[in-house]
Amino acid sequence: MRHIYLDNHSTTPVDPRVLESMLPYFNELFGNAASRSHSFGWDANNAVEVARSSVANAIGASSAQEIVFTSGGTESNNLALKGAVESYADKGNHVIVSAVEHKSVLDTAKRMAAQGCEVTVLGVNGLGRVEPEQLRQAITDKTVLVSIMLANNEVGTVQPIAELGSITHERGGLFHVDAVQGLGNVDFDVERMQVDLASVSAHKVYGPKGCGALYIRRKRPRVRISAQIDGGGHERGVRSGTLNVPAIVGFGRACELLAEGAANERIRIATLRDTLQARFAAALPRVSINGDPVERLPGNLNMSFHYVESEGLMRGVKEIALSSGSACSSATPEPSYVLAAMGLDPALARCSIRFGIGRFNTAEELNYVAERVINEVERLRGQSSLWKSVEQGVDPTLLEHRVP
């Protein structure tokens, strides 16, 4: 049985060129980057600084010193929210997030609310987008931080970051962007988009797991962040802990590869996605796209196959790695909170599949996926009495909309 990976929003395979860059730092160049008294430490530190510059360039930062390495996107998001609110307690304690943020933002905000922070959760429209005017109405002079993701990990919708950043700065707030899913997949420039803090992660850009970074603006304004991990004063005191040099080197190399070919890669991946979408639409009635059909990640296709439960469909094509939602929420049987926030009917949400296309997927693989999914949808619908009623012309609005 062949196996095809189409869950690139969850994680991406390490690019062989990235792995090659990392290998020497496991054995030959194994020094601690904080050891400044010998060549082993110097070599490790030099490699870290090269990677820091590569990550900074990937997001348009004005200085490599604005990059603080972390263990990944979750830690970066925690550090941004908790660190900013603690550092700017004299201004206020109001935080704004959207309802479709990653759980590492929503759960962090929930904990902060339990500890006395005032948290506003902005709703989204039917495409999963935050309306700028809604932010304008919610923000106050006591708002310390607004946190909105660059692109959604489930439906792929890209947010109007530049406009949201401008609104935030009009009221003197700090603007944090969870750019983990969007890095390399859409244009992102922290200077142009007026971003003060940005979270990124290596394993979403064909780098290793367990490595991320937080961008912290150093001028106009200079942003203060209170450390959440103490001990050793690493990363200029913002994030203590021995640096994971091999992974950081890999992250840097992954960012260099984005700079070399991201634009062409996006076009190729979007073409694969659009072809797959067209195959489904041509062969199957009653399918729909979730998320913005235009302003979305190039490799994202979140579709509802009406009257077909997503879990059953995925079991039927188990040789294809797919998802019915975010990897961080895959253990829960409830429908996607992102789709719920968009107003999608819960029954239809349970019929939704996320296809995540990436760098190493081919047209041949996508052709196979189209055939297998179409055949399985037809097979499952053939077993559904509800679907048979729809086929016979019964108005589906008169039927209980449930999955078989």
Residues with catalytic function? 328
Task: Specify the DSSP class assigned to residue 85.
Answer: H
* CB-based contacts of 385, cutoff 8 Å, min separation 6: 404
Give dist(CA 23, CA 4) in Å, integer.
27
Closest of 226, 106, 112, 96 to residue 173, by C-alpha? 96
Is the CB of residue 247 less than 8 Å from the CB of residue 336? no
Is the CB of residue 152 less than 8 Å from the CB of residue 113? no
The amino acid at residue 322 is: L
Count Cβ atoms below 10 Å from residue 371 Cβ, excluding itself.
12
3-state helix, strand, coil in the chain (%, to 5): 45, 15, 45
Q: What is the DSSP string of 352-404?
A: EEEEE--TT--HHHHHHHHHHHHHHHHHHHHT-HHHHHHHTT--GGGS-----
From the centroid of its chain, how far is CA 297? 10
Count Cβ atoms below 10 Å from residue 228 Cβ, excluding itself.
17
Is the CB of residue 366 less than 8 Å from the CB of residue 357? yes
224's tokens: 């203060």
* CB-based contacts of 271, cutoff 8 Å, min separation 6: none
Phi, psi of 121 (to 5 degrees): -105, 115
* CB-based contacts of 60, cutoff 8 Å, min separation 6: 188, 189, 190, 191, 192
